[in-house]
Structure 1
Amino acid sequence: MNPNHHKPILLAFFTLLLLQLQNPINASPSPPITALYAFGDSTVDSGNNNYIPTLFRSNHPPYGKSFPAKLSTGRFSDGKLATDFLASSLGLKSTIPAYLNPTVKPVDLLTGVSFASAGGGLDDRTAMLSSTLAMDKQWSYFEEAVRKMKSVVGDSETNRVIKNALFVISAGTNDMIYNVYDHALGRFISVSDYHDFLLSKVEAFVQRLHDAGARRIAVVGLPPIGCLPVQVTLGTFTSLPLPRIFRHRICSENQNADSRLYNQKLKNLNFRLNQRLRGSKVLHLDIYSPLMDMIKHPHKYGLEETLKGCCGTGLLEAGPLCKPLSRTCDDVSKYLFFDSVHPSQKAYSVIATFALQNVLPLL
């Protein structure tokens, strides 16, 4: 018998097997994301700081100049945050409100809310320095929110919402800036050791979320901290004659290398957490790559200024220093940063698109 006679049959069999492996009939599609809950710092704070006694506020112009009705909501940007764009793309709601906003009703909690606090971090010392909400306090507000949801829709529906919700943890930048780069503590602790300390806090928080029923968790990595306008300014102050700071602006490669090291450690931690917390997805939401791409290839995104903020001189102003009377740039959509620390709405939309393409499919 001709041995080649079996080849087409074998080929057809393997093709069928391959298709079955790629499309297993019994694999049910993941249920849609029910809500988005955010914890951390100003990158995901929709205005909780408006309701606590702190100087770290942005509920005044020029913040919000690109927001609907030019509303200064307490978001540290000219408009929406990445979490707002994600929520609207997922069909949850147009923006994620701040938990402490008195207009937020218990029923609103079922589709998502932010517990984050600008100026906060993974390290409790960071929140103490800025009189903002530490992660423990944010957690206690989440527990309170769960009780409110249960009072509205009952235990099983609340548990279903939590199980299928997306939880975003975005913190770490303030910790590095306050406690390592611009603080005496930085002389006493190695960057790598401090990373490990922060990541132990991430691990504990993810464990808490898992114990509360969360199964889809995205942990945001560090941005290129050395390219934040304030860090560029401070780095330049120490190394150049003053008049040149307006001309000669370059990122701190050391600080960027630190961010990359942290992000690699975060990926390793997430891998371990996924092994341990069976049934959970713990993913790294990379903001370093999209921000760096915007800095290196601004014209691809219609950007013109990447190392100065739109508010004031763009070198140092943020929060209380970015004031209603501060001059602002003519066209904020051409700016990567709105103030000296925080991305513009345009940059946040790019980050959200990057997350939708690279992280959401894995959830």
Structure 2
Amino acid sequence: MAKLSALIFLIIPAVVVVQYMIWTIISNTACTATKFTTSPKFPAILIFGDSTVDDGNNNYIRTLFKSNHRPYGRDFPDHIPTGRFSNGKLVSDFIASVLRIKETIVPPFLDPNLSDEELCTGVSFASAGSGYDNLTTVATGAISMFKQIEYFKKYLVRLKGIVGEADAKKIVNGALYLLSAGTNDFIFNFYDLPRRRLQFNISGYHEFLQNRIQIFIEDLYNLGCRKMCIAGLPPIGCLPIQMTARFENRRDRKCLEDENLDAENYNQKLMRKGFFPFYSWALAWANQEARNRAHGPTKKKSLQPNPRAILKEGMHQPGSSSSNVRPSSTYLYMPTRSEDEPLIL
């Protein structure tokens, strides 16, 4: 195993509540300047994962998992869908702008018009529908996590051609790496399409995925990664697609506590793996905050985890057929209220 002692980890759950949590963390580190008046703490941001951090790579591949159509992007200028699974910015975009790495948003690596300047300060390799388990992308047609590393290697070649090998090494070593994946693995391989249940019980599948994460981290480390933020699992049982799949009667739909418990156990195991020495409090805090929002905390405005709020027919249509929506302010998984406004709880 590669020596990982120099690698810095933050662990966060991959749900929209992360926007609020990360905003709080960044605020506490005095990084909230609105203009690029000082040098950023990181020279670049490099992102790997699924739809939570896909800035548009799926626009350029053959997959049903696309968001380059309405209602996505409704709060961007000119209301143009960008390929983000959001009405506006993603968590990764907020992080990049608040840390002064990017002025606005993070570009997708597969964008054929990606400029040298944008490439030098970072890109997203993420792909909606991806996961650590190779079976996940067989089902979704997304870019696998390990294929994303192959794209990262191509990124390194281009970066060296732009700034030279010495400066490229500085950028790669100093960059902030974000990883956000795992939810699709459980949905497509264990819950809704239970292919891995033939091999593993839930605990065994946890271990299988976390061993895959270990390999992924080692690969990134060997390529120069030294600072990383890894997302744990959200309360999967509160995802509209899961409630829709479990309950035929719409009136009976509610969060699936067995799947939420699986996610909590997974996150705790992830913390105990030994390569996450810092910020253990962040995972538990934000995961609970997500569940509070799903159940409607008494002291805050309740946003119901109603799958019909996103799709009147549920959440089984990931592509362009998913345009049948209700107002975004009525449901839990509302990425932003406006293109430049973080979600305030």
What TM-score results when the alignment is normalised by the length of structure 1? Answer: 0.76
Structure 1 residue 220: deviation in Å?
Answer: 0.5
1:63 matched to 2:62: no
Structure 2 CA distance for partners of 1:274 and 1:184, relative to 1, 3 Å: closer
Find the structure with the greater CA-based Rg.
1
Equivalent position to 2:325, from 294, 312, 328: 328
Q: CA RMSD in A?
A: 2.8
Separation in structure 1 between the aligned mates of residue 141 and residue 226 of structure 2, nearest angstrom: 31
Separation in structure 1 between the aligned mates of residue 92 and residue 300 of structure 2, nearest angstrom: 20
**2:162 alignment partner, SS class:** helix
Equivalent position to 2:55, from 29, 46, 61: 46
1:268 matched to 2:272: yes
Q: Aligned residue for 1:312?
A: 311
Q: Aligned residue for 2:252?
A: 248
Counterpart code for 1:290: E
1:200 matched to 2:211: yes
Structure 1 residue 274: deviation in Å?
Answer: 5.3
Q: Aligned residue for 2:94?
A: 85
Structure 1 residue 232: deviation in Å?
Answer: 1.0
**2:252 alignment partner, SS class:** coil
Share of identical aligned residues, percent?
38
Separation in structure 1 between the aligned mates of residue 312 and residue 341 of structure 2, nearest angstrom: 24
The structure whose RCO (Cα within 8 Å, separation 6+) is larger is 2
1:147 matched to 2:157: yes
Separation in structure 1 between the aligned mates of residue 340 and residue 258 of structure 2, nearest angstrom: 27
Aligned 8 A contact 2:75 2:338 in 1: no
Structure 2 CA distance for partners of 1:52 and 1:174, relative to 1, 3 Å: same
Equivalent position to 2:336, from 318, 341, 345: 345
Aligned length: 303
String of CA shifts for 1:233-256, please: whole Å, max 9, x gaps.
21212xxxxxxx332321111100
Structure 2 CA distance for partners of 1:206 and 1:309, relative to 1, 3 Å: farther
1:1-363 to structure 2, matched below 5 A, reads 32-93=41-102, 94-188=104-198, 189-237=200-248, 245-269=249-273, 272-273=274-275, 286=283, 288-297=287-296, 304-308=303-307, 310-313=309-312, 315-320=314-319, 322-323=321-322, 326-330=323-327, 332-337=328-333, 343-346=334-337
Separation in structure 2 between the aligned mates of residue 306 and residue 252 of structure 1, nearest angstrom: 11
**1:78 alignment partner, SS class:** coil
Q: Aligned residue for 1:359?
A: none
Structure 1 residue 54: deviation in Å?
Answer: 1.3
Counterpart code for 1:228: L
**1:217 alignment partner, SS class:** strand
Instruction: Structure 2: state its 5+ residue gaps.
Output: 1-39
Counterpart code for 1:329: R
String of CA shifts for 1:99-131, please: whole Å, max 9, x gaps.
101121232122121101111110111112111
Separation in structure 2 between the aligned mates of residue 130 and residue 304 of structure 1, nearest angstrom: 29
Separation in structure 2 between the aligned mates of residue 285 and residue 182 of structure 1, nearest angstrom: 29
Aligned 8 A contact 1:221 1:285 in 2: no
Separation in structure 1 between the aligned mates of residue 180 and residue 343 of structure 2, nearest angstrom: 13
Aligned 8 A contact 1:121 1:172 in 2: yes
Structure 1 residue 294: deviation in Å?
Answer: 2.0
Counterpart code for 2:304: E
Structure 1 segments, 4+ long, off by >4 Å, are 281-285, 298-303, 346-354
Aligned 8 A contact 2:188 2:194 in 1: no
